[in-house]
Structure 1
Amino acid sequence: MSTKSKGFSRRRILGGSAVAFAAGTLGIPFVRTARAQVATFKAGVITSLSGENILGGNLTKRGYDLWAEAINAKGGVEVASQRFKVDMFDGDDQSNPATGADAAERLIVQNEVDVLFGPYTSGSTIAVQPICQKYQVPMISGSAESPNVWKAKPEFNFGIIPAVDTTAGKSLAVLAKLSNPTAKTIAVIGVNEPFSKETGEGFRDGAKEAGLEVVAYELVPASGDLTPVISKIAALNPDIVAVGGHEEPLINVVKTSKSLNFRPKALIMHYGVTDPAFAQALAADADGTSGVSVWLPSVQYKDDLFGTAREFAEMAQKKSGHEPDYTEAACAASGLVFGDAVKRLGKKPALTREDRVALKDAIAATDIQTFYGPIKFEKEGNHYHDNVQPVPVLIQIQGGKTVAVGPKEAAAADLTYPLPAWK
C-alpha cells in the first residue's frame, strides 16, 4: 500500500529516523503544517515493517491506514461538532520486542502522539505496554492474541481480537463435531514464542475438552528443520494435527509434511491461514488446511464509517489487491474505537497528559457495534481489557479461497474431511 494515501499525511519512523512527506485530500496536494497552526490528532503505529514478521506487519499497517484514510475523507474525528484530522506516524519494531519499545518511546516523546495503535506480534505488544504506562498514553491493539498480554492487566492497552485461549480450543470442538468418521486423536505443534506457544496450549487444552486424545505436544523454534518433529508425529498417525505459529512456520509445516508424504485427516492452524500470503506461498498445497477466524467479509455487521463487512472488504481489496483477513479488519476497527472514545471524551487536540488518562478511561467504557462486530472490553479477570465478544468461525482453504465451514449456522461450505493424500 502506498504511504501517500489520500486524506492523511504520515511521517515514517524507521530505525529511529523520521521522514516527513505530503499526502493528498480529494486530489489536492497539501503539506502538513505545524501542530500549533492546524489542530490534528496524532496516532503512532508500532508494527513489524521489517524482519521476519513483515508480512503480518504490513497487514496491521494496512488496517490502521484504512481507518485513517476513511475518517479523514469525512473531515476527521468528530469532537464537539467539529472534525479534526488524524496524522499517522509509523514505528518499526523490526520484528523485535525491545526495538518496538524504543520505537514507541520515540513516537511518544518526539512526535507527541495522542494514542498508539499496537504491534503485530504479542511479544512486541507486551514490551510496549510499560512504555504506555510510563507516559500515560493509551494503546489500542488490533492484532495481539496472546493471553499473556491481558493476564498482566495492562491499564493503558486494549485488545480488539479475543485471546487465542478463547478461540483455538473452541475451533477444535467444532472440527471434531463435523468430522466423519469422528476424529479421536490429535498432535499439537506450537512455535516457541509468546503468541504461538499460547495458541499451541489453547489447542492442547481445547482438544482435551473436545474429547480428543493428545498423542503429542511439541514446541519447536521459529526457524529450522521441522523434519524430525513431523516424522515423529507421522509415526503416531493422529487424525488431526494442530499448529500454533506465524506464517513462515505454518508454511514450513505443510511443505515438510508433503516432503514426508504425511497428511493427517485434518490440519488446523490459527492466524496464518487467513493471511493471503499463506495460500499464495503454497498454491494448491494450501487446500484443505483449516484455521480459525473471528471475522469474515460475509459476517452481518456494519457501522457508519465503513458500512457493511463486505463493503469494508471491497474497500480493502481495492487498496491492496487482497481480500482482508480478520487482523486487518481488527486494526481498522481499532480506529473506530479511538474515534468513538474521543467523541465521548469531548477533548480537542492536542491532548494533555490528563486528557490521555481520561481517554484511557473512555476507551475502557467502549460498547459499540462495528463492521468487525461488537467491541466491549473486559473489566476484570484474565482477559482484562481484551474484547472477547466475537465468536470464532472454523474456516478452510478450498480451491484457493477461504470459506467458513463451521459451526453449521455460519458455514458457507462443507468441511473437507478426511483430507486426500498428497498428489
Structure 2
Amino acid sequence: MMSTSTRGFSRRRFLEGAAIATSTLGMPFIRTARADAPTFKAGVITSLSGENILGGNLTKRGYDLWADAINAKGGVEVAGERFKVEMFYGDDQSNPATGADAAERLIVQNEVDVLFGPYTSGSTIAVQPICQKYQVPMISGSAESPNVWKAKPEFNFGIIPAVDITAGKSLGVLAKTANPTPKTIAVIGVNEPFSKETGEGFRDGAKEAGLELVAYELVPAEGDLTPVISKISALKPDMVAVGGHEEPLINVVKTSKSLNFRPKSLIMHYGVTDPAFAQALAADADGTCGVVVWLPSVPYKDDLFGTAKDFAEMAQKKSGHEPDYTEAGCAASGLVFGDAVKRLGKKPGLKPEDRVALKDAITETDLHTFYGPIKFEKDGDHFHDNIQPVPVLVQIQGGKTVAVGHEAGAGAALTYPLPAWK
C-alpha cells in the first residue's frame, strides 16, 4: 500500500518531539568501521532524511541499541563462538522507491546477511520484492499497516502487530477491565490510510470483544464533526472508539463536550500518549483511553537487555529520551536475528543458500524478549507478522498517561464509566 509511505504524518508524529534528528543528507550509505575478524553484516533501511527523518531515527536508534548491546558481549553466538555484527545504513530519503534502491545496493554491494526494515509501511512494501529477488530476509521493527502482511511476503517478518490487530485486541482488554461490562460501541475512522485501518480494526474487533456495533462512521480529516457526534450521541453507545491523528482526536473530544455527550468510555489509538493531546484539552483529556504495544512497565525480560525497564534505562542513557515502542520493536528485531542465526549454526559469511535457510529459521521463531513474545504467523492476512503481544491499555488521569489494563496487571485503576462533563 504505497499510500502509507508517508506514515511519518500518522500515528507516531506524536513522538517527534522526543526524536533526535541526525541529518545524513549527502550520506545515503554509512557503515561502521570494519572489524578484522569475520562479522555478520546487517543492513538498515530507514528514513535518515526527508519528512520522516524523526521516525527514521527512532528505528535506527532501536537497531543500534541491539547492535551495541550484542557487540559488547562479543557478538552473536554460533556454535560456542561469538561474532560481532557490522551495521550498514541505507537512507530511503522518506521515499519508497528510494528505499527499494537502497535495499538493492545494501544486498549487492555490501553483501548484507539480513535487512532491518524501514520506518514507514510504504517503504517496507517497496523493499519486499527486493528481498524476494535476492532471497535475503528482512526483519521489520516498525511497519504496522496490515497491507504489508496481506501481500504474504516470504522474506519479511514484522515485530509490531498490525494496527488492525492492536486496535481490535484493545477493545477486548477494555471490555474485560471495565465494570460494569460495556455492551455497545460506536466507531469513528478518519478517511486516510493509517487512520482508516485503525478504525477498521476497532470495527472488526467489536464482535470479538462481545460488543454490539451500533455505528461505524468514516469522516474526513478536516471538517465539522457535529453531525457525526450528534448521530452517535442519539444512539447512546457505552463506548466510542476513534482512529485518527491528533487534530481529529482533539476535535472529537471538543465536539462531544459542546454537545454534552459523554460516553462511558472513549478510546483512541496512539495519540493519547502525546503530551500535546492532554495539553490541548487540559482537564477535558482526562478519562480518554489509548493503546500502546509496549511500555517500560511491561513484565517482560530476556538475557541480553534484561527487563523492559532495564532496556528503557539503557535507551534513555544513550539518547536522553525514554524510548517508545518503535525503538523497542526495532531492538527486538536484532534479538530475532541473533536467535535465528544461533539455531541455524552458520558462521559468517553466509552463502546465498544460508540466507534462505536463515529465513526458514526466522519463520520458526518462538522467543520471549523484553518487548514481549515473538512468534510469526504462518498463514492468513497477517502472514509473517508477530501478533502475539497483548496491547497495553492506557488512560489519561490527572493529565498523565497511566497503564490501566494489561494481561499482567496495570499501574492504575480504569476510570469507568466516565463522569459527566464539568
Same-fold call, TM > 0.5? yes
Q: Distance in 2 between matches of 1:318 and 1:387?
A: 28
- Which stretch has the larger CA shift, 184-193 or 49-58? 49-58
Once the two structures are superposed, what CA deviation does each residue of 1:254-302 show, in whole Å capped at 9, x if it has no partner?
443466455753432224444xxx2246536354432223322222221
2:226 aligned residue: 231
Q: CA deviation at 1:141?
A: 1.0
Q: After superposition, where does 1:261-410 map in structure 2 within 5 Å? A: 261-262=257-258, 264-265=262-263, 266-274=265-273, 278-280=274-276, 282-283=278-279, 285=281, 287-407=286-406, 410=409
- The DSSP-based 3-state class of the residue aligned with 1:381 is coil
Q: Distance in 2 between matches of 1:323 and 1:143?
A: 17
- Which stretch has the larger CA shift, 367-376 or 180-189? 180-189
- The DSSP-based 3-state class of the residue aligned with 2:45 is strand
Q: After superposition, where does 1:48-59 map in structure 2 within 5 Å? A: 48-59=47-58
Q: Distance in 2 between matches of 1:217 and 1:420?
A: 25
- The DSSP-based 3-state class of the residue aligned with 2:105 is helix
Is the contact between residue 284 and residue 400 of structure 1 (CA under 8 Å) also seen in structure 2?
Answer: no
1:218 aligned residue: 218
Q: CA deviation at 1:182?
A: 4.1
Is the contact between residue 113 and residue 136 of structure 2 (CA under 8 Å) also seen in structure 1?
Answer: yes
- The DSSP-based 3-state class of the residue aligned with 2:367 is strand
Whether 2:189 is the aligned partner of 1:189: answer yes
Q: Distance in 2 between matches of 1:335 and 1:400?
A: 35
Q: Distance in 2 between matches of 1:180 and 1:55?
A: 42
Q: Distance in 2 between matches of 1:3 and 1:113?
A: 25
Q: After superposition, where does 1:126-141 map in structure 2 within 5 Å? A: 126-141=125-140
Q: Distance in 1 between matches of 2:288 and 2:97?
A: 34
1:88 aligned residue: 87
Q: One-letter code of the match for 1:227?
A: G
Is the contact between residue 240 and residue 268 of structure 1 (CA under 8 Å) also seen in structure 2?
Answer: yes
Q: CA deviation at 1:78?
A: 1.8
* Number of matched pairs: 391
| Structure 1 residues 121 and 2, CA gap change in structure 2 (3 angstroms) | closer
Is the contact between residue 29 and residue 89 of structure 2 (CA under 8 Å) also seen in structure 1?
Answer: no
Is the contact between residue 76 and residue 86 of structure 1 (CA under 8 Å) also seen in structure 2?
Answer: yes
Q: One-letter code of the match for 1:141?
A: S
Once the two structures are superposed, what CA deviation does each residue of 1:117-160 show, in whole Å capped at 9, x if it has no partner?
11222222222111110111100111222222222221101111
RMSD: 3.0
Q: TM-score, normalised by structure 2?
A: 0.82
2:414 aligned residue: 415
Q: One-letter code of the match for 1:344?
A: R
Q: Distance in 2 between matches of 1:93 and 1:421?
A: 48
Q: Distance in 2 between matches of 1:99 and 1:353?
A: 24
- Which stretch has the larger CA shift, 136-145 or 403-412? 403-412
Q: One-letter code of the match for 1:18?
A: F
Q: Distance in 1 between matches of 2:382 and 2:123?
A: 18
**Structure 2: gaps spanning 5 or more residues:** 1-18
1:144 aligned residue: 143
| Structure 1 residues 366 and 19, CA gap change in structure 2 (3 angstroms) | closer
Q: Distance in 1 between matches of 2:181 and 2:334?
A: 45
Q: One-letter code of the match for 1:359?
A: L
Q: Distance in 2 between matches of 1:328 and 1:125?
A: 17
Q: TM-score, normalised by structure 1?
A: 0.81
Is the contact between residue 204 and residue 217 of structure 1 (CA under 8 Å) also seen in structure 2?
Answer: no
Once the two structures are superposed, what CA deviation does each residue of 1:227-269 show, in whole Å capped at 9, x if it has no partner?
33x2333322365443335xxx2x2124434664557534322
Q: After superposition, where does 1:44-193 map in structure 2 within 5 Å? A: 44-177=43-176, 178=178, 182=182, 184-193=184-193
Q: After superposition, where does 1:18-29 map in structure 2 within 5 Å? A: 18-19=29-30
Q: CA deviation at 1:59?
A: 2.4
Is the contact between residue 298 and residue 308 of structure 2 (CA under 8 Å) also seen in structure 1?
Answer: yes
Is the contact between residue 186 and residue 207 of structure 1 (CA under 8 Å) also seen in structure 2?
Answer: no
Percent of paired sites with the same residue: 71
2:251 aligned residue: 256
Q: CA deviation at 1:54?
A: 3.8
Is the contact between residue 43 and residue 115 of structure 2 (CA under 8 Å) also seen in structure 1?
Answer: yes
Is the contact between residue 293 and residue 394 of structure 1 (CA under 8 Å) also seen in structure 2?
Answer: yes
Once the two structures are superposed, what CA deviation does each residue of 1:93-131 show, in whole Å capped at 9, x if it has no partner?
333333322222232223322111112222222221111
**Structure 1: gaps spanning 5 or more residues:** 5-11, 23-31
Q: CA deviation at 1:201?
A: 0.8
Q: Distance in 2 between matches of 1:217 and 1:283?
A: 27
